[in-house]
Amino acid sequence: MADRAVSAVVGKALEASIVIIYIGLLTTTLYAGVLPEYRTAAATEVADRTVADVSGDLQTAVPSSTATNRTEQQVDLPTTIRGETYWIRVQNGEIVLEHPHSDVAEQAPIVLPRSVTSVEGEWRSDEQPVITAERSDDTIEVRLETGER
């Protein structure tokens, strides 16, 4: 008669163990395989959009009127991508997004009018990015600078 009470306790303990093992396996599967790949894919899309937005902002920052000698335009960038800060640089005529995660990197060619003689500078994502364009005679120099966030 005393054995019947023990079998109910052992049965409930086995049920609880199976549930704990199931939750552990599900959590391990999600955090070790599926979620990091999703985060990287989403981060790559955000990086692509960021570079495209910067390219558009560069084009609109160039003064179209010869009466304007200097323009300054603030740029709205995500502070982090995939939870980490990143850099945007101008290298070899391209906008380059560099990220600490090796799978998250983007670049795009810079397309500006012929009057733009140089584009230079870099931004860190946790700073306030600003594009300045200065006209002198028939040439325009564009710089990526930082302000305060």
**Which single residue is written with the structure tokens 């985060």?**
39
Phi-psi sector, 103: left (phi>0), alpha (psi -120 to 50), beta: alpha
Q: Where are the beta strands (DSSP E) in the chain?
A: 70-74, 87-91, 94-98, 106-109, 116-124, 128-136, 139-147
The model's confidence at residue 2, banded by pLDDT at 50, 70 and 90, is: low
Closest C-alpha to 58, from 143, 128, 148: 143
pLDDT digits (tens, 9 = 90+) for 47-105: 999 999 999 999 888 887 777 788 888 999 999 998 899 999 999 989 999 999 888 98
CA distances, 69 to each of 34, 37, 123, 134, 135 (Å): 52, 47, 23, 6, 5
136: part of which helix (H) or strand (E)? strand 128-136
Global model pTM greater than 0.85: no
Contact of 104 with 82, CB cutoff 8 Å: yes
pLDDT digits (tens, 9 = 90+) for 24-54: 888 877 777 666 777 888 899 999 999 999 9
